Structure 1
Amino acid sequence: MCLIAFAIGQNRRFPLVVAANRDEFFRRPTADMAWWTPAEGTDILAGRDLASGGTWLAISPGGQVAAVTNVREGNPDPGASSRGELPIKALAEPTSTLLPSLNATASHYAGFNLVTLSESGGWYYSNRDAHPGRTLFRGTYGLSNHLLQTPWPKLLRLRTAFARTIEQANAYADDLHNQLLPLLQDTSTAPDHQLPRTGVGLETERFLSSPFIIGDQYGTRATTIVTLDDGGIITVTEQSWGTQGQALGKRQFRWQREQTDSGIIRTISETPDRRSPHGR
């Protein structure tokens, strides 16, 4: 996952909104978003990285969202452990135990950013941050492949448009999802003087500078929108992409979270996989 915008408490109707693009090599095997149960915890809604078994973004039945992005480095150490296990750990453990666990094992992973989000706030951790482990309060945030809120051009473009859309959203989740999806398909590249210098070379910096990345070998593979409304209804839309921005399957999940004596349960309504006849 390489670009995320999220809003906590910025719209009374939708106290939590998350919009994200996952960028990856197309050759890396991936399972589409679905409900599954990792060994570390209860059910999650997530795609699955079939190469390492983890995920990049996961949602709990209660509407908590956890996501990870890589930190872009010129010559990265691959790490002894997969970063894809981090969102699963974040949903399975309270922050009080997750923080010391990450502090003890941070060097086992290549550079990463981890966020855990709910309608009441969030938490952010990066093993490249001088002071890892930050509580997030109400606001609109952006995260790419550097630290939280690092003002890379694509992050600023998305965060600005995202914040405006959240502010003007009506009462219908589907309308909001339909307004947010095109923002994440922005292919505008940044001018050279605004590009970060992360050690990957100028040509690659240009290629990676748009919110939506189009390529033959590497590019945006999934766009995911998550909303939690004030009635406890969680709506998730995910659009998958192929090479050169080809639109593949689109899935939607919607459920009402309910508190029972045994915890939070969900009632699921799913939209069948749909393919766009028009591409991007």
Structure 2
Amino acid sequence: MWIADMCLIVLAWRLVPGMPLLVAANRDEFYERPAQAAHWWPDAPQILAGRDLRSGGTWMGLQADPQQNTPARKFAAVTNVRAPSEFRADAHSRGDLVSEFLRNDMSAEVYLQSLKSKGDLYNGFNLLLYDGQDLIWHSNRYQDDARNGKPLAPGIYGVSNAALDSCWHKVVRTKAEFCSLLCQLAPEDAFFEMLGNTNPAPDCRLPDTGIPFDRERLLSSPCIVSEDYGTRVSSLVRIFDDRAPQLIEKVLR
């Protein structure tokens, strides 16, 4: 058994003047799973995000004022940790971790405190939380990583379906290309071209996560294409110091 949701995120944190956070991400999911593109939620007007129509949560989104040209108050995104041997069908939806953070006014630190007793209710996840001040990576796995649950230092980061900055080929090469594009002041289209890379990793660089080898190869490209599963949406998020954020989507399936 294997599942995935928002499987590649690379970001620049407090490196670009006037833009504390720049995020490029791919959401990977089964094509049959219904979802909405990014929009302002009618039941939570401060949330700008896509929506999973099966469980009601989201894989990535912003909390902002839709009527004012003011900075985003929050950003959040989630990926799963690929560990099929640990998968539980009765676990809570990981998309709720994002939507609940965006619905409230808690800081990232306080919100994570509220999750301390709930981590076992979810299958493995990586959660990125920005609260206007700090950016925090938290996972209910990788407890021995000193960065887990702590504010991140400025830098370039990447996460897929393992720990933050894991040496998975798709993470390493996308981070390198992302950094190069930043240095070149590349246009928006270049970031989407980066996210659209369908070249798999060399077989010798594939991780062993407990799924068949051909699936490991399929899932090793930044942009995944198959008959039933793949990259559904590519997204670029810009959070500015002095104006409204941007969430730009390219819907693929």
Query: How high is the TM-score relative to the length of structure 2?
Result: 0.87
Structure 1 stretches of at least 4 aligned residues deviating more than 3 Å after TM superposition? 118-121
CA distance in 2, matches of 1:153, 1:79: 31
Q: Of the two structures, which has the highest relative contact order with CA contacts closer than 8 Å and spacing of 6 or more? A: 2
Q: Which has the larger radius of gyration?
A: 1
Find 1:85's aligned residue among 93, 96, 116: 96
- 1:71 maps to what in 2? 81
- 1:24 maps to what in 2? 29
CA distance in 2, matches of 1:79, 1:100: 23
SS at match of 1:104: coil
Change in CA separation of 1:180 and 1:119 when aligned onto 2, cut-off 3 Å? farther
- 1:212 maps to what in 2? 223
Change in CA separation of 1:34 and 1:189 when aligned onto 2, cut-off 3 Å? same
Q: Deviations over 1:87-146 (max 9, x none)?
A: 122232223431222110000001101001367540111011215412112101001001
Q: Is the 8 A contact 1:89 1:98 kept in 2?
A: no
- 2:158 maps to what in 1? 142
Question: Is 1:156 the equivalent of 2:172?
Answer: yes
Question: Is 1:108 the equivalent of 2:118?
Answer: no
RMSD: 1.7
Find 2:135's aligned residue among 93, 113, 122: 122
Give the deviation of 1:13 after TM superposition: 4.3
Give the deviation of 1:195 after TM superposition: 0.5
For 2:49, give the aligned amino acid. A
Structure with the higher strand share, 1 or 2? 1
- Sequence identity (%): 39
Find 2:251's aligned residue among 240, 260, 268: 240
Give the deviation of 1:36 after TM superposition: 0.6
Matches within 5 A, 1:23-62: 23-37=28-42, 43-61=46-64, 62=71
Find 1:194's aligned residue among 199, 205, 223: 205
Give the deviation of 1:190 after TM superposition: 0.7
Question: Is 1:11 the equivalent of 2:27?
Answer: no
How many matched pairs? 235
Change in CA separation of 1:136 and 1:158 when aligned onto 2, cut-off 3 Å? same
Change in CA separation of 1:95 and 1:15 when aligned onto 2, cut-off 3 Å? closer
Segments of 5+ residues of structure 2 without an aligned counterpart are 1-5, 65-70
Bigger mean CA deviation after superposition, 111-120 or 16-25 = 111-120
Q: Is the 8 A contact 2:108 2:131 kept in 1?
A: no
CA distance in 1, matches of 2:184, 2:241: 16
CA distance in 2, matches of 1:94, 1:103: 15
SS at match of 2:19: coil
For 2:136, give the aligned amino acid. W
SS at match of 1:43: strand
Question: Is 1:168 the equivalent of 2:184?
Answer: yes
Query: How high is the TM-score relative to the length of structure 1?
Result: 0.79
Q: Is the 8 A contact 2:91 2:122 kept in 1?
A: yes
Give the deviation of 1:229 after TM superposition: 3.3
Bigger mean CA deviation after superposition, 93-102 or 195-204 = 93-102
For 1:74, give the aligned amino acid. P
For 1:72, give the aligned amino acid. R
For 1:60, give the aligned amino acid. Q
CA distance in 2, matches of 1:69, 1:101: 19
Q: Is the 8 A contact 1:15 1:119 kept in 2?
A: no
Question: Is 1:181 the equivalent of 2:181?
Answer: no
Give the deviation of 1:179 after TM superposition: 2.0
SS at match of 2:50: strand
